[in-house]
Amino acid sequence: MKQIIAVTSFKGGTAKTSTTLHVGAALATFHRKKVLLIDFDAQANLTTGLGFDPDEQDSIAPVLQGEKEFSSVCLSTAIKRLDLVPADTWLERVEVTGALAADRYSHERLKKILDPLDYDFILIDTPPSLCWLTESSLIAANNSLVCATPEFYSIKGLQRLAIFMENIAERHFLQVLGVSLSFWNDRGKSNGSFLEVIEDTFPGKIFSPKVRRDISISDAAIYGGPVFATAPKSKAAEDYKKLTSDIIARLSP
């Protein structure tokens, strides 16, 4: 069964894009899965993080508008079995332009585009807000991977995100796959309090592997690839490998 995962957060700075990139790369590289990453955030950080210039590429926007075929915007990456649909600034207002503006069911178009695609995993990097793009991603997905950091505003935003996803799940099949924590410090004084709030919001959903703070992630973005290629022995490489294995285990029947 194809897994479509919306990678979500309510605020920026939660390593949402890094998580999308590295889980996707780990699935393709170490688990030999056929993976598609969709950059659905107008900031296009996932696109640049894989070495592409968003100003030179088409996003999925013209496909949503019915102006282009999916195959014309899907790119092969330097990583075997890993494809990418880039982002561009058009995404920011795509729902109020062209054919989408007059379509009351426009938020279901992404799902129709993705359903027939032949991939083992499709990961969608969503904007850090509860907007049309995020809603469309969650409707298209069968699972949501929630990203958070051990800080007050990140944790507080999870409660609003949970309500938003619950409302969508009442109309479309959607499960919370789990909560991934990044920028983790094992010695953090408030770790227990933060974990308690997350557990109350998403009971039993916290992934045990936590991604530790590691400068190698920022360095990898400069080179346009994952840490598995640029710093294979780094803490981040180890943590993302473990997280990806846990994701697969949680999805297994």
Query: Residue 193, Cα to own-chain centre: how many angstroms?
Result: 26
**If you average pLDDT over every residue of the chain, what do you get?**
94
- Tokens, residue 187: 């010695």
Give the chain's domain count. 1
**How many other C-beta atoms lie within 10 A of the C-beta of residue 223?**
13
Give the up-direction half-sphere exposure of residue 54: CA atoms within 13 A in the CB hemisphere: 22
Lowest mean pLDDT among 2-6, 187-191, 211-215: 187-191
CA distances for 120 relative to 31, 37, 128, 171, 175, angstroms: 11, 11, 25, 25, 18
Q: Is the pLDDT of residue 20 over 90?
A: yes
Environment class of residue 72 by beta-carbon count within 10 Å: exposed (0-12), middle (13-18) or buried (19+)? Answer: exposed
Region 123-143 average pLDDT: 96
Q: Where does 79-218 show beta strands of DSSP type E?
A: 82-85, 121-125, 143-148, 175-181
Region 231-242 average pLDDT: 96
CA distances for 149 relative to 129, 194, 224, 228, angstroms: 16, 9, 24, 22
CA pair distance 31, 37, nearest whole angstrom: 16
Q: Which residues contact 175 (CB under 8 A, 6 or more apart)?
A: 142, 143, 144, 169
CA pair distance 153, 123, nearest whole angstrom: 25
Q: Is the pLDDT of residue 18 over 90?
A: yes
Q: Is the pLDDT of residue 155 over 90?
A: no
Q: Is the pLDDT of residue 150 over 90?
A: no
**Predicted local distance difference test score (pLDDT) of residue 139:** 98
- Tokens, residue 29: 């590289």
Region 149-169 average pLDDT: 88
Lowest mean pLDDT among 21-35, 151-165, 176-190: 151-165
Lowest mean pLDDT among 7-11, 49-53, 83-87: 7-11
| Domain residue limits at 83 | 3-251
3-state secondary structure of 243: helix
Q: Is the pLDDT of residue 138 over 80?
A: yes
Kindly report the CATH number assigned to the domain that includes residue 96.
3.40.50.300
**Predicted local distance difference test score (pLDDT) of residue 9:** 92
β-bridge mates for residue 7, sequence order: 125, 145
Q: Is the pLDDT of residue 35 over 80?
A: yes
**Predicted local distance difference test score (pLDDT) of residue 153:** 78
CA pair distance 221, 227, nearest whole angstrom: 8
Q: Which residues contact 147 (CB under 8 A, 6 or more apart)?
A: 7, 8, 9, 14, 15, 16, 19, 179, 180, 182
Region 143-170 average pLDDT: 90
**Overall residue count recorded for the chain in this entry:** 253
Q: Is the pLDDT of residue 154 over 90?
A: no
- Tokens, residue 97: 């332009």
**Predicted local distance difference test score (pLDDT) of residue 28:** 98
Region 56-84 average pLDDT: 96
Region 45-74 average pLDDT: 95
3-state secondary structure of 19: helix
**Predicted local distance difference test score (pLDDT) of residue 12:** 80
Indicate the pTM of the whole model: 0.96
Is the pLDDT higher at 102 or at 38?
A: 38
Q: Is the pLDDT of residue 63 over 90?
A: yes
The interaxial angle of helices 235-251 and 16-30, nearest 10 deg, is: 70
Q: Is the pLDDT of residue 250 over 80?
A: yes
Is the pLDDT higher at 86 or at 90?
A: 86
* Tens-digit pLDDT profile for residues 201-210: 999 999 999 9
CA pair distance 161, 166, nearest whole angstrom: 9
